[in-house]
Structure 1
Amino acid sequence: MRKPIFERTEDEIVSLLHYSYGEAYTYSVLAFLYPTLDFRNKFHQDHIFPKKMFTKKRLSKAGISEEDAEFFMDNFNSLANLQLLEGVPNQEKSGKDFDAWLTEKYPSAAERKDYMAKHYIPDVDLSFAHFREFIGKRENMLVKAFKELLN
């Protein structure tokens, strides 16, 4: 059996999820998840579920309960809602509902499946109302990915 390159505890790996949009090391942590990207291109930290959706007014209009709204507001900038996208796709996606953008940009099921695998997007209902489930499943996927990349 191959010995891990870095010995990391579960807590250390889970702590990587605590990085948020705009913090000093968030881009580096995200870049670690994409070892095959050509970083000669410019990549942006992209909110998977667009940050413009996360206002009290928009959450209320979307029918999000007060309890869920608090969770949404606490987690929209979290690593679990971020991905790296090249500049042009990020601008095309800007402010669009993620599930609508994904279907528009990748019309075939195979293309969507490839995109979701590359970006660690869980196979869950990707509508805004299911943000809580998305975050939980994506955190699990990211922890698993970090473990695999570190070993």
Structure 2
Amino acid sequence: SLLKQVYSGQADTALSGLRDGLRIKADNGDTFILKDAKFDFSVYKHTKMSGGKKLTIDTTDIENFLEYKKGAFSFLLLSTLYPDLRLDQISFHQDHMHPHSKFKPSLLKAVGIDGETIKQWQDMRDQVPNLQLLEGRENTVKQATDLSKWVNDKTDDATYYRKRNYILDEQSLELADFEEFFSNRKQLLRKKLYELFDVTYIEESIEEAV
């Protein structure tokens, strides 16, 4: 419900929709009675609320999640992708894997990127596929370090880092290959979210979505 922002803006209306999904009008037409004495959670999940909102997560929702930009909801999504982090004990930051500062037009032109592609990359820069959760102190150290240098020089085990952060073993970490990095990591994140939210993975539907 938080990821889909079901209760944002019109919480009362959303709750009314859930309530109406669990009851029916009595024979006298003036009062309501519950449809059942007990309800399985699946009943809540499939109850439609105002604006067509519901608690179930589908392929469209996951595509929307992956386009979240750095903020409260992207942090929430990342926390589901890094379930072992002790968020209640340690301060974690949302870190740009390819640093934010590397997307200046002059730096992108230096690696052969120009025109509209610069704007596209600057937009992609802040989306979930370029974000990770990093311990606050570690993020302070990383700052504007190139991703390739950070992984090769600063991490104890580059293979483990890639696996933990949904990066293909053979994926280039150079800024010039950012678009490929973004696309491949997005696909790995997508598959993980399908698994976490028990959504059937269908390759054809994904191709249509992207």
Correspondence 1:28 to 2:65? no
Deviation per residue, 1:5-36 (Å, 9 max, x gap): 985321111111121013x3111111111111
Correspondence 1:113 to 2:159? yes
Superposed structure 1 runs of 4+ greater than 2 Å apart: 4-8, 65-68
Aligned residues: 144
Find the partner of 1:128 among 175, 180, 184.
175
CA distance in 1, matches of 2:168, 2:182: 9
Q: Which has the higher contact order (CA 8 A, sep 6+)?
A: 1
Matched residue SS, 1:44: strand
Quote how far apart the aligned CAs of 1:66 are.
2.3
Q: Which has the higher helix share?
A: 1
Give the TM-score normalised by structure 1: 0.87
CA distance in 1, matches of 2:177, 2:84: 30
CA distance in 1, matches of 2:158, 2:189: 19
CA distance in 1, matches of 2:192, 2:63: 11
Give the TM-score normalised by structure 2: 0.64
Which blocks of at least 5 consecutive residues in structure 1 are unaligned? Answer: none
Structural RMSD (CA):
1.9
Which blocks of at least 5 consecutive residues in structure 2 are unaligned? Answer: 1-41, 46-54, 199-210
Aligned twin of 1:96: 145
Quote how far apart the aligned CAs of 1:150 are.
1.8
CA distance in 1, matches of 2:182, 2:116: 15
Quote how far apart the aligned CAs of 1:104 are.
0.4
Matches within 5 A, 1:1-150: 7-22=56-71, 24-39=72-87, 40-106=89-155, 111-123=157-169, 124-150=171-197
CA distance in 1, matches of 2:181, 2:77: 20
Structure (1 or 2) with the larger CA radius of gyration: 2
Matched residue SS, 1:25: helix
Quote how far apart the aligned CAs of 1:67 are.
4.1
Check conservation: 1:71, 1:132, Cα contact below 8 A. Answer: no
Aligned twin of 2:51: none
Quote how far apart the aligned CAs of 1:72 are.
1.1
